[in-house]
Amino acid sequence: MIQTTFPDRATMAELLAKMLWEIKAVHFNAETPYKYASGIMSPVYIDCRKLLSFPRIRSTVIDFAASTLLRDAGFEQFDCIAGGETAGIPFAALLADRLGLPMIYVRKKPKGHGRNAQIEGDMKEGARVLVIEDLTTAGGSMFTFIDAVRAAGGIVDHGIALFFYGIFPEAHQRFANGKVQFHHIATWREVLAIAKQQKLFDDRTLQEVEAFLDAPLAWSARNGGVSELSL
């Protein structure tokens, strides 16, 4: 079924934030920060893969993704949906089914044996491909997949993440430089707003999280992490 209703953006963002808290996919810890692969120390952590385990939530999030794309990109702009290894693959399958489109998936690197394929599935030369990930911090991993699709003859003008950190200006520059229109549903700001509204943490923790969102690299440096984002 193709989703054709269009909730306003603020409602979708708020509801996704509430869903993430409801299924305990979000964690705040200012006392013992989380270390990201980039070396950034952070008081926040999110696991969007948990969305897959809750059918009603999963279906609603895919509705939101479809609505976002149809409204902001158009109704006939894509020939194929591509999921990035690994978390993007199930969401690509769900979104492709919702929009009635073929689906492929993209490895982080060629698999190293057999056909040495990096793209699995059937992608025609010149196909207009939407790349989807569960979340994006600054766009680096998404461009690994975008570049692979482009190298194989696909056209990528759009990418979507269900959740976007939304705190690194470098991310916006990366998508602009890469000539990709980036779409998302919710960010850390909506997640923090729900935490404040529902009083899920003490004031100090909420203040530390907000301080991180306002200046993530400075917060990271103060807590033993990197002070620069490697692009």
pLDDT at 56: 97
**What pTM was estimated for this model as a whole?**
0.93
Q: What share of the chain is helix, strand, coil (3-state, %, to 5)?
A: 45, 20, 35
Assigned domain for 231 exists: no
- The total of structural domains in the chain comes to 1
Assigned domain for 123 exists: yes
pLDDT at 112: 59
Tokens 């897959």 identify what position?
A: 52
pLDDT at 54: 98
What is d(CA 11, CA 19) in angstroms, rounded to the nearest whole number?
12
Cβ 105 vs Cβ 92: under 8 Å = yes
Residue pLDDT tens, the chain, 231 long: 576 789 999 999 999 999 999 999 999 999 999 999 889 999 999 999 999 999 999 999 999 999 999 999 999 999 999 999 999 999 999 999 999 999 999 999 886 555 658 999 999 999 999 999 999 998 889 999 999 999 999 999 999 999 999 999 989 999 999 999 999 999 999 999 999 999 999 999 999 999 999 999 999 999 999 988 765
What is d(CA 33, CA 179) in angstroms, rounded to the nearest whole number?
34
Q: Identify the H or E element spanning 162.
A: strand 155-164
Assigned domain for 75 exists: yes
Assigned domain for 3 exists: no
Assigned domain for 229 exists: no
Assigned domain for 210 exists: yes
What are the C-alpha distances in Å from 112 to residues 17, 56, 83, 115, 147? Answer: 39, 38, 20, 8, 18
Assigned domain for 135 exists: yes
Assigned domain for 2 exists: no
User: Could you tell me the residue range of the domain that residue 140 belongs to?
Assistant: 9-222
CATH classification at residue 76: 3.40.50.2020
